[in-house]
């Protein structure tokens, strides 16, 4: 190796070490800024949601995934993502909606199978909604692995005859509490995961809603209104906008459910 080449390698190595150190420090800063002011338990919104003129058998709605699916950050149970979706379905279908939330705060995609295992034997939802991915990005889970785990969970749901809607990983670049350049790296990683999730979900027969594109811009432009007090999870308004983005796909899944996949 020539002296010039050796010098170049040494400089690149030192730069990589410095970058890793910088990213580690910025991650620690982000953790301190965000903290856990909301705790680790979302409000319990599971109940039958109905309007005064909504009789009949309830539509069964299942929520799976992470803290967004669980509704952490909402100040009232009516403002959680599940409740927002339930009320939207009830309004459109003129029927009551029974919400079941299997999502768990802090979950990575690998936790989906455990969430499914906790469902009552024989349970079947009219539509299942999955929102997951943010924790995979922050814990640096490879996108290919997380996407494969998502595809497996969708396959289980489809084999049980449940239509599935997937809200792909939100754009973590909207998090102002995360300093640069870590925020840019998080944005890139979350978008890469969202793309992998979309491909996996479509292969498995689920409907896909790209949350980064659907609600990312409004979160970036109005962070004080869209985020809760931890500046990481959605506020009541943030959940309302997220539910609005998901509802068209949920309606379509209810109105035109695909045939069930063969059981694995």
Active site residue 233: yes
Provide DSSP, 115-180: HHHTSPTT---SEEEEE--HHHHHTT--HHHHHHHHHHHHHHHHHTT--EEEEPPP-GGG-TTSPT
Whole-angstrom distance, CA of residue 134 vs CA of residue 90:
29
Q: Which of 83, 65, 214 is CA-nearest to residue 129?
A: 65
**67 catalytically annotated:** yes
- Strand 59-65 vs strand 127-131: parallel, antiparallel, or unpaired? parallel
Catalytic residue among 66, 110, 171, 233: 233
Active site residue 126: no
What is the C-alpha separation between 145 and 197, in angstroms, rounded?
A: 10
Of the candidates 54, 92, 230, 244, the residue annotated as catalytic is 230
Q: Which of 46, 67, 110, 171 is catalytic?
A: 67
Can you say whether the dihedral through the CA atoms of 103, 105, 109, 115 is positive or negative? negative
- Which sequence positions are flagged as catalytic? 67, 230, 233
């Amino acid at each position: 190796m020539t002296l010039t080449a050796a010098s170049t390698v040494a400089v690149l190595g030192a730069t990589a070490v410095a970058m890793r150190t910088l990213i580690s420090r910025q991650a620690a800063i982000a953790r301190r800024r965000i903290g856990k002011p909301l705790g680790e338990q979302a409000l319990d919104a599971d109940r039958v949601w109905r309007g005064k003129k909504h009789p009949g058998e309830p539509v069964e709605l299942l929520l799976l995934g992470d803290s967004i699916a669980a509704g952490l950050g909402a100040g009232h149970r009516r403002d959680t993502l599940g409740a927002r979706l339930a009320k939207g379905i009830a309004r459109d279908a003129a029927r009551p909606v029974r919400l079941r939330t299997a999502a768990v705060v802090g979950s990575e995609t690998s936790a989906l199978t455990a969430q499914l295992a906790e469902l009552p034997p024989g349970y079947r939802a009219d539509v299942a909604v999955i929102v997951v991915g943010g924790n995979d990005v922050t814990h640096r889970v490879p996108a290919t692995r997380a996407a494969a785990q998502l595809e497996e969970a969708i396959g289980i749901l489809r084999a049980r005859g449940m239509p599935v809607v997937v809200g792909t990983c939100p754009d973590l670049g909207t998090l102002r509490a995360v300093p640069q350049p870590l925020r840019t790296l998080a944005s890139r990683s979350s978008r890469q995961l969202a793309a992998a999730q979309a491909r996996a979900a479509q292969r498995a027969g689920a409907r896909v809603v790209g949350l980064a594109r659907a609600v990312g811009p409004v979160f970036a432009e109005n962070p004080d209104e869209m985020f809760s007090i931890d500046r990481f999870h959605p506020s009541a308004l943030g959940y309302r906008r997220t539910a609005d983005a998901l509802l068209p796909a949920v309606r379509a899944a209810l109105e035109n459910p695909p045939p069930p996949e063969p059981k694995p």
